[in-house]
Amino acid sequence: MNGLQILGTGRALPAHVVTNHDLAQRVDTNDEWIVSRTGIRERRFSQKETLTELAVTSARLAMERAGVTSQDIGLCITATVSPDYITPSQACLVHQQLQLPEDCPAFDLSAGCTGFLYAMETAAAMLPRMNRPYALLIGGELLSRIVDMDDRSTCILFGDGAGAAVVKTSEHANWYSLLGTRGNQEALWAPGPGNSPAYLHMNGQEVFQFALETVPAMARTLLEKAGLSKDDVDWYVPHQANHRIVASVAKRLKVPLEKFYENIERYGNTSAGTIPIALDEMAEQGLFQPGQWVMCLGFGAGLTWGGALFQWQEKKEKES
Ligand code: ACO
């Protein structure tokens, strides 16, 4: 079975930083409450950047680092629930800006915060049937556009940003993955155009509970599939929704929290953006060594969950 190899990553965050103190000017909240309940200190809200701009910037970086050009891309997927347009898709706007080839299909994928993991799985299945060797995968959101800034239970949690990866399939890639869905409209939802109320709504405790039910179980299943133990994994890259969820997952798995990468403090929850943004930060910091095992763990609206356990591979100078 084909696995994926990640050849290059990129990220783009809006310039405007919004601190907890800034939000406390608008809603009845405070820095202490937000930090202790979520781990978030600040997030980025777009003032003028579009999602297309963030997606294209992160994609260009990923392509540059992978050493590939637009002409090498055979598949383009954008995971998002907050695209610039309902149609054409976000991926089509990226396709246009990057002048991707016409035989490169481009489409959006909606799986909430698990979107990037769904995109990776889709690429693993589709890419061998495409005409060109690489897929461009983007996860990104402008959630500030669908969050009610007067609702203190949601406006403190979310942020804007995008991350991207260029991947190829490889028979030699050690890659194990898992996706799941528990259809549930009430836990976390945002209405379509014309429907109201227009904002994102969430039952925080239900989502919290869902994450703790599914994420540790998913991690164990992935380890079983790979024949590995929890200690064989060098890095856990969880969806950044809440530090308390990450800490609880680490505790349930009996894995030191230091093995879980976290940046929620700086960006909040960027939904489909959190995992590619984290991967890019980690790659930039040189945290990945060839041969290391990495486990990405996502969950979100849908309700959906997804995980990928893979061995980091050295990128050959000239990929073919
Ligand atoms: N500041 C101050 N007080 C607040 C705030 C705030 N920003 N928000 C809520 N409160 C109050 C509530 O009104 C409530 O007050 P009351 O007791 O007087 O009624 C009190 O704090 C406790 O509220 P809870 O909702 O019980 O707080 P909880 O400890 O559950 O924390 C939170 C809320 C942070 C949302 C938590 O439930 C959570 O993180 N859930 C998971 C959410 C999540 O991960 N969402 C995204 C995942 S899916 C995805 O990524 C798309």
Question: What's the burial of 194, exposed, middle or buried (CB within 10 Å: 0-12/13-18/19+)?
Answer: exposed
Residue 262 φ then ψ, to 5°: -135, 135
Residue 144 has what DSSP assignment? G
Mutate to test the pocket of ligand 1, among 33, 34, 37, 246 (most ligand atoms within 8 A of CB): 37
CATH number of the structural domain spanning residue 166: 3.40.47.10
Interior angle at CA 13, CA 200 and CA 159, nearest 5? 20
| Number of structural domains found in the chain | 1
**pLDDT score for 320:** 46
Q: With 0-12 CB in 10 A as exposed, 13-18 as middle and 19+ as buried, what is 111?
A: buried
Q: Indicate which atom in ligand 1 lies nearest the CA of residue 241.
A: 44
For residue 232, the tally of other CB atoms under 10 A from its CB is 13
Containing domain of residue 318, as a range? 1-320
Position 2 confidence tier, pLDDT thresholds 50, 70, 90? confident
Task: Just list the catalytic residues.
Answer: 113, 239, 269
pLDDT of residue 300: 96
Q: Is the pLDDT of residue 275 over 80?
A: yes
What's the rounded mean pLDDT across residues 297-313?
Answer: 96
Phi, psi angle pair for 278, to nearest 5°: -65, -45
- Mean pLDDT over each residue of the chain, to the nearest integer: 95
Model confidence at 316, in pLDDT bands (50, 70, 90)? low
* Whole-prediction pTM: 0.95
User: Of all protein residues, whose CA lies closest to atom 36 belonging to ligand 1?
Assistant: 204
Indicate whether 1 pLDDT > 80: no
| 102-158 residue pLDDT tens | 999 999 999 999 999 999 999 999 999 999 999 999 999 999 999 999 999 999 999
pLDDT given for residue 198 in this prediction:
82
Let me know: does 257 contact 247? Beta carbons within 8 Å. Answer: yes
The token pair at 188 is 């976390």
Residue of 207, 213, 269, 304 best suited for mutating to test ligand 1, as the one with most atoms within 8 Å of CB: 207
Q: Following CA atoms 155, 143, 304, 29 in sequence, which dihedral angle do they give, to the nearest 10 degrees? A: -10
What's the pLDDT tens digit per position in 206-235? 999 999 999 999 999 999 999 999 999 999
Closest by Cα among 116, 159, 117 to 138: 116
Residue 270 pLDDT greater than 90, yes or no: yes
